[in-house]
Chains A and B, each alone.
Chain A
Amino acid sequence: MMRRFVIYLMLVVVSAAFLLTGCGGKADQSAVDDKGEKVIKIGASLSFTGQMSREGTLTKQGYDLWQKTVNNAGGINVNGEKYKVEIIYKDDQSDAQRSAKLTEQLITEEKVNYLLGPYSSGISAATAAIAEKYNKLTIVPLANAPSLYENGYKNLFGVLPLATTYLNGVLDIAKTLDPNLKKVAIISPDALFSLSVAEGAKQYAETNGFEVVYYDKYPADAKDLSSMITKIKGAGAQILLGTGYLADGVLAVRNAKDLGYKPAIMAFTIATSIPDFRKSLGADAEGVMGGEWWTPNMQWQGDIFGSAGDYAQLFKKEFGEEPAYYSAAASVTGIILQKAIEKAGSLEVDAVRDTMRGLDIQTFWGPIRFNEKGVNVGTSGAAVSQIQNGQVVVIWPQELQQNKPIFPKP
């Protein structure tokens, strides 16, 4: 009996060894594709399944649109030579461990030099550490928890302003709507991004003369917020800020309705920007506000996609729906890489990174300029939008206002 087992084990080990050696060594980073064109390979590990699949898909649309636009224009210009862009996608299943593995696969098997970021801050933290070791560039479109940029990684760049400022606009507009709005309640699920937003909002509220009457976190998978809403109602909060993901916002609105709690302003981080929110709440979503890092009616202008409006049109033609800021951020991530490579006139990581440090460009997303930590400081703060008659309407800042805000929330 033992003998048969041993033979089996030997077979397994030997075949595994063969398999592994066979899988080594693939094409070079600036390979030539079958049409004889030069290609720059870019890696992207995104969440197509799992918890964050929705956001992951939106991000991919943004990358795809940039890739298509660049390649239609001939490719990226490196010292007069045109390189086509090829983005290699991997699905990290919303799991950091898996994303780390895939990032290493992209670097060592696919030989990519540049990585476009995964969706969330948590996952980015895991992949950035690996890219740093391999000295590969990572540009993340949608990860903006402050702690991510405190590790001193030199190869990590982020497009969004830090999460802490996300809901500041809501407080700004509240001041203009009614000076008697003073009492704020902030609730946050216990997760990296959400807590960052909540802490930022609390600080901003306190320094701007608001009174934070309720501030607490709850387990990320909570299915019922009745108890918190009951306390908030008891504390008489006029403004409710929620910093969770989609399901959290839906839950808070429903629980508030059940308990007869009617704040004058209700705002969530992820609410207006994803259509599912309106779809699942219907009429109850009326008047809910949300932060938007980017909206199609912004006045920014760049040379690749034209204005923000032009980008929105192109996006709509391609995918049949209005772009959410997720997709826009993803597209601008591509532009940043493209501009840095073209300006550096080289595909060397070190040269491109050093160019990125000093980059100062205009895009449809807004100006792009990185500080020493790798955070984009070209734009700051988020716009505020509101759901009015089932449509998302920008109501803040004043110069972007599409419609008067509905106040108080019905």
Chain B
Amino acid sequence: MDWQVIINGLLLGGLYGLAAIGFSLIWGVMNIVDLAQGAYLTLGAYITFWLFNLWGVDPFLTLPISALVLFGLGYLIESQIIKRVLRYGLVMMLVVTYGLNLLLQNAMLVAWSADYRSVTPAYSGAGLVIGGASIPYIRLALFIAALLLVGLLTFFLSRTRMGNAIRATSLNRLAASFVGVRTDFIYALTYGLAAATVGMAGSLISMVYTVSPSLGGTFMTKIFVVTVLGGFGSISGAVVGGLILGVTEALTASYVAPGLMNAVSFIMLVLILIFRPQGLFGKQFYGVTN
């Protein structure tokens, strides 16, 4: 039975990790704590829900659509709003992203009501059993999809011209602009990319959890913990952080008390900030790939 607990934790942790990447990326590159990520996640989940519900599109096939819509939205928001507020410093950034979050969340509430929705494809619920532990196919698929996305993003950032430009900008915006990087464009691109990533995470999450406008809010707090655990700006850090959080929660729920599941993760957050603010593996104030 112990294996089952660990597996539950890992499968959940993969989603946490994927959800946190966008947040971590924005923090690392743009030095912004983006509180609107929760709303993007919810939006991604709704896109999958509607495509599945109205036209029967397979949830996994909605991923690129989610990514595209969210990328567009992210790009637009960065170039129209974030860019203008950037120079007023972090207090203003916290508030403006939170304001965006409220605005988007409320818009979804008005448009789609507070009803709970779920995406239930035909293959949900089936699974394989290994050594007494059951692994649902859908969760396994989510986990693999999450890892694939992480791999893709890492490849993009480390092997492509644009990815290099993003990393250069994250190290030093001024210097990057001297060598010809259009940093304004890079910022918008990064923000769009981050929104797309968290949107895809939302799409995947919609397959196992109920979707409602408040979905993102719950995940936002997990995203904080994961990012701080893994060190901001580090993609592989976010994944490992997610897995650690998932397993910790599962172990707490099984062996301490389910009621303390959240408390443990927040206490972990505060302690790590105090004792190891660069994260468990991260290098402080440093770029994107670990």
Interface positions of A (Cβ within 8 A of B): 49-51, 53-54, 187, 190, 216-219, 221-228, 230-231, 234, 246-247, 250-251, 254, 257-260, 276, 280-282, 284
Contacts and interface: CB of A to CB of B under 8 A. Distances in A.
A257 B125 contact: yes
B212 interface: yes
A190 B5 contact: no
Interface string B239-278: 0000000000110011001110110000000000000000
A247 B209 CA distance: 9
B136 interface: yes
Contacts of A281: 118, 120
B81 interface: no
17 contacts: A49-B109, A190-B259, A218-B261, A219-B258, A222-B258, A223-B218, A227-B8, A227-B9, A227-B249, A230-B4, A231-B254, A257-B124, A258-B139, A259-B134, A259-B136, A260-B134, A282-B120
A276 B116 CA distance: 7
A107 B219 CA distance: 40
B254 A227 contact: yes
Contacts of B208: 254, 258
B261 A222 contact: yes
Interface string B208-230: 11101010001100000000000
A50 B212 CA distance: 11
Contact of A260 (B5, B115, B127, B210): B127
Given A223-B218, A224-B12, A282-B120, A216 B114 contact: no
B179 interface: no
A236 B116 CA distance: 30
A280 B115 CA distance: 10
B4 A259 contact: yes
Given A224-B8, A226-B12, A227-B254, 18 more contacts: A49-B109, A54-B114, A187-B258, A216-B257, A217-B258, A218-B253, A224-B209, A226-B8, A227-B249, A227-B250, A227-B258, A228-B253, A254-B118, A258-B134, A258-B136, A276-B115, A284-B120, A284-B125
B1 interface: yes
Interface in B33-50: none
Contact of B5 (A50, A216, A227, A282): A227
A110 B120 CA distance: 48
B218 A221 contact: yes
Most-contacted residue by chain B among A50, A54, A221, A280 (CB, 10 A): A280
Nearest to A230: B4
Contact of A217 (B4, B114, B139, B259): B259
B117 interface: yes
Contacts of A226: 8, 12, 250
B contact residues, range: 35 or more
B152 interface: no
B219 A216 contact: no
Contacts of A225: 258
B129 interface: yes
Contacts of A54: 114-115
A40 B24 CA distance: 58
Given A49-B109, A251-B209, A227 B120 contact: no
Given A223-B209, A227-B250, A231-B254, A247 B116 contact: yes
Contacts of B116: 246-247, 250, 276, 280
Contacts of A223: 209, 218-219
Contacts of B115: 54, 276
B136 to A, nearest CB: 4
A251 B8 contact: no
Contacts of A246: 116
Contacts of A284: 120, 125
Nearest to B139: A258
B119 to A, nearest CB: 9
Contacts of A230: 1, 4-5, 8, 254
B210 A247 contact: yes
Contacts of B209: 223-224, 251
Given A227-B254, A280-B117, A219 B262 contact: yes
Nearest to B205: A223
Given A223-B219, A228-B253, A258 B210 contact: no
B129 A260 contact: yes
A281 B138 CA distance: 16
Per CB-CB distance, the 10 closest pairs between chain A and chain B, nearest first, are A227-B253, A218-B258, A280-B118, A258-B136, A226-B8, A257-B125, A260-B134, A219-B262, A227-B254, A227-B250
A262 B118 CA distance: 21
A216 B125 contact: no
A53 B114 contact: yes
Contacts of A234: 1
Contacts of B258: 187, 216-219, 222, 225, 227-228
A142 B13 CA distance: 38
B12 A218 contact: no
Contact of A51 (B114, B117, B138, B210): B114
Contacts of A228: 253, 258
